[in-house]
Amino acid sequence: MATSGVSGFHVVTPGKGCTIWRGASVRAPYGLQIIENCIACPHREDRIFCNLQPAAVQRLSTITSPATYPKGATLFVEGQTARGVYIVCDGRLKLSTCSTDGKTLIVRIANPGEVLGIPATVTGKTYELTADVLERTQANFISRADFLAFLRDYPEVALRVSQQLAETYHAAVAELRSIGLSHSADEKLARFLLEWCSSHRNGAEDDRATLTLTHEEIAQIVGSSRETVTRLLSNFKRKKLLQMHGSMLILTDVEALRALAGA
């Protein structure tokens, strides 16, 4: 573990790719505006886990360790003994599982406001998924002992955790239904594009969104191959179902995609 002082702030680097900040809110590496204090967080009211009573937020602020991660960093690995949970303050991560022959399936994308690692931390078992950073991210860590004590002392927090687990369960069922009941790769990809734009829309538009996933990552989400995804996206562009401008995805024929997805 290396420590150093930077402009009056105490920086701790416990592992490759991770920087933990102790101090006031500052702009840390990777261009992120670090939210160092839960009490002053501008997003509290919008997030299930963080929208708590003042006493609970005060306690939360004392047990979290703010940390930033670059794209490609890993928070935890499937099968690793659970050390605690991570609150995603900014950025996105992919949660995946891997078979013994190396085939990867992305179970879902984690967004700001989510708490990762809850099931393993509560049960004392291993993490069931691997969490990899898709874009520069702030994810605040809470140790298992502190998190369990937090749940015991604040029933409101336990309720919020239950709410998130329920939402995660419903999302997992929807994902399984999408992969398992779709009849073709075209249908799976069309459904993915529609759902992505719906949940990651850019501003008020529901037909466009920023898509930074690679073709390989999209394939891991829809249960297909990279080559198939690349071919289908080219077909969709040729049929004028969508456009791609850099990382901006624009659905130019939503109704046709809905018909293709069986919606």
Q: 30-42, pLDDT tens digit by residue?
A: 555 666 667 767 6
Write out pLDDT tens, residues 154-169: 999 998 888 888 888 8
Which of 15-29, 55-69, 226-240 has the least mean pLDDT? 15-29
Which of 86-90, 154-158, 169-173, 249-253 has the least mean pLDDT? 169-173
From residue 3, alpha-carbon distances to 20, 22, 25, 174 in Å are: 10, 11, 19, 44
Tell me the percentage of the chain whose pLDDT exceeds 70: 79
pLDDT score of 67 more than 50:
yes
Angle, helix 215-222 to helix 226-238, in steps of 10 degrees: 100
Give the contacts of 85 (CB within 8 A, at least 6 positions apart): 115, 116, 117, 118, 121, 141, 142, 144, 147
CA distance 100 to 217: 19
Range among 105-114, 142-151, 204-213 rated most confident:
142-151
| Predicted pLDDT at 22 | 45
Q: Between residues 167 and 127, which one has the greater pLDDT?
A: 127
Give the contacts of 200 (CB within 8 A, at least 6 positions apart): 209, 210, 211
| DSSP for residue 99 | -
Q: What is the mean pLDDT of the chain?
A: 83
Q: What is the mean pLDDT of residues 76-103?
A: 92
| Predicted pLDDT at 23 | 43
Write out pLDDT tens, residues 13-25: 334 455 554 444 4
Write out pLDDT tens, residues 165-215: 888 888 777 777 766 666 789 999 999 999 899 888 766 566 889 898 999
CA-wise closest residue to 120 among 82, 93, 88, 152: 82
Domains of the chain, start order: 43-178 (2.60.120.10), 182-261 (1.10.10.10)
CA distance 140 to 85: 8
pLDDT score of 218 more than 50:
yes
Cβ atoms of 112 and 91 closer than 8 Å:
yes
Confidence category of residue 3, pLDDT binned at 50, 70, 90: very low
| Predicted pLDDT at 139 | 93
CA-wise closest residue to 36 among 114, 110, 140: 140
Q: Between residues 18 and 143, which one has the greater pLDDT?
A: 143
